[in-house]
């Protein structure tokens, strides 16, 4: 998918470990698995995160594949959404009827891949009750894999946990838990192990990671947000007023929805980096177009260091300072992790 891959992959790995399974987690996350090929046994489970860069040349598909969502990303490389979607399609396009494809029901682009695979279809949804897969009804996260796993009818629906019990913030992370539970279920992981992980897992570094609380202000590192869609998900994860740090390098992606959401959820916007002036301009255009909201001001700076300094001056007790740039890190850093580490270092030096 475009967002949620690393968190979902990590969740599946942890669920398998909690069930006592021998599991390998890799691909676009952690260490390359090619170095471990000699140690991977036929009875082991391998959980891989695959990006569009890896998928675009694939001519085989895995036994169990998942596409969480498809939203604009990496258009600086793929040029068009059609080409980007075609790369994602490869993870399910070469499957056979004995394989399984898990698709995000709430995402129209992911849902459309049902027509592109011969595999048995599974679904996850935050709002619709799906025939096979996992879904949320009210506060319950429910797993429905009875027919697929050959379970008795009375064991068909199992409650994984309740939404407030999930430690990860945001609706998007509830979807990640649902997707991970289906995938873990296909590996034979019992619901009890899923529940244990879903209610204790606190996330992966640089993904809505709480850095510290200082003088009543909570500082969050979401440096992984290298596209405006990812920043949207972060903004929607908080009820508190937000001081947002946005910037980096643009990937030729649309920013209008980000601008509108910023108007509604952000009290102070601080832009930095190569894309900073463009982001400030798009948000100001949203203001001019009559989008009235909570935004009190926009501060434009050049560097992350200056952005953190400005945020420290602007943030009030009870608010959130959120680094969720929407752009890549390559204008100033090696990767998003280096940017996130620098942010955390700067925040720890405050006060």
Q: Which of these, 170, 318, 184, lies nearest to 234 by C-alpha position?
A: 170
Lowest mean pLDDT among 55-64, 149-158, 292-301: 149-158
What confidence tens digit (pLDDT) does each residue in 273-292 have? 999 999 999 999 998 777 67
Active-site residue flag, 31 = no
Instruction: Indicate the average pLDDT of the chain.
Output: 94
Catalytic one among 28, 120, 162, 218?
28
Active-site residue flag, 5 = yes
Contact 113, 92 (CB under 8 A): yes
Bridge-based pairing of strands 133-137 and 120-125 is parallel
Lowest mean pLDDT among 72-76, 326-330, 337-341: 72-76
Q: What percent of the chain has pLDDT over 70?
A: 97
Catalytic one among 31, 63, 73, 74?
74
User: Measured over all CA atoms, what is the biggest interatomic distance in the chain, rounded to whole angstroms?
Assistant: 61
Domain edges within the chain: 5-198, 209-348
Q: Which helix (H) or strand (E) holds 143?
A: strand 140-144
What confidence tens digit (pLDDT) does each residue in 15-32 have? 999 999 999 999 888 788
What confidence tens digit (pLDDT) does each residue in 124-174 have? 999 999 999 999 999 999 999 987 876 655 567 999 999 999 999 999 999
Contact 141, 160 (CB under 8 A): yes
Enumerate residues 6+ apart whose C-beta is below 8 A from 92.
61, 65, 67, 101, 103, 113, 116, 117, 119
What confidence tens digit (pLDDT) does each residue in 85-95 have? 888 999 999 99
pTM: 0.87
Are both 5-198 and 209-348 of the same fold? no
- Assign domain 5-198 to a CATH class: alpha beta
Local confidence band at 42 (pLDDT 50, 70, 90 cut-offs):
very high
Architecture of the CATH domain 209-348: Alpha-Beta Complex (3.90)
Catalytic one among 5, 78, 88, 206?
5
Active-site residue flag, 344 = no
Helix, strand, coil shares, percent, the chain, to 5: 40, 20, 40
């Amino acid at each position: 998918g475009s967002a949620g891959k690393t968190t979902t992959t990590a969740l599946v790995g942890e669920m398998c470990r909690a069930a006592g399974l021998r599991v390998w987690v890799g691909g676009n996350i952690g260490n390359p698995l090619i170095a471990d090929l000699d140690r991977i046994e036929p009875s082991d489970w391998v959980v891989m995160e695959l990006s569009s860069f890896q998928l675009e040349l694939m001519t085989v598909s895995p036994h169990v594949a998942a596409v969480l969502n498809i939203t604009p990303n990496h258009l600086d490389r793929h040029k068009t959404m059609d080409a980007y979607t075609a790369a994602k399609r490869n993870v399910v396009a070469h499957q056979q009827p004995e394989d399984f494809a898990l698709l995000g029901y709430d995402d129209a682009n992911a849902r459309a891949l049902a027509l592109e695979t011969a595999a048995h279809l599974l679904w996850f949804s935050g709002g619709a009750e799906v025939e096979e897969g996992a879904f949320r009804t009210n506060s319950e996260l429910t797993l429905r894999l009875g027919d697929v796993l050959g379970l008795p009818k009375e064991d068909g629906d199992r409650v994984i946990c309740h939404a407030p019990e999930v430690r990860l913030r945001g609706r998007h992370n509830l979807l990640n838990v649902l997707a991970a539970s289906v995938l873990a279920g296909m590996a034979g992981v019992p619901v009890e192990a899923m529940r244990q992980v879903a209610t204790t897992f606190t996330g992966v570094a640089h993904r809505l990671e709480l850095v510290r609380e200082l003088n009543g202000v909570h500082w969050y590192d979401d440096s992984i947000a290298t596209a405006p869609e990812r920043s949207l998900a972060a903004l929607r994860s908080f009820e508190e007023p937000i001081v947002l740090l946005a910037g980096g390098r643009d990937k030729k992606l649309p920013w209008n929805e980000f601008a509108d959401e910023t108007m509604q959820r952000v009290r102070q916007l601080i832009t930095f980096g190569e894309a900073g002036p463009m982001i400030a301009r798009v948000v100001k255009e949203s203001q001019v177009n009559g989008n009235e909201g909570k935004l009190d001001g926009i501060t434009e700076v050049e560097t992350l260091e200056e952005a953190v300094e400005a945020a420290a001056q602007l943030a009030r007790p009870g608010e959130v300072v959120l680094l969720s740039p929407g752009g890549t890190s390559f204008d100033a850093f090696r990767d998003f992790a280096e940017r996130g580490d620098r942010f955390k270092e700067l925040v720890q030096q405050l006060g």
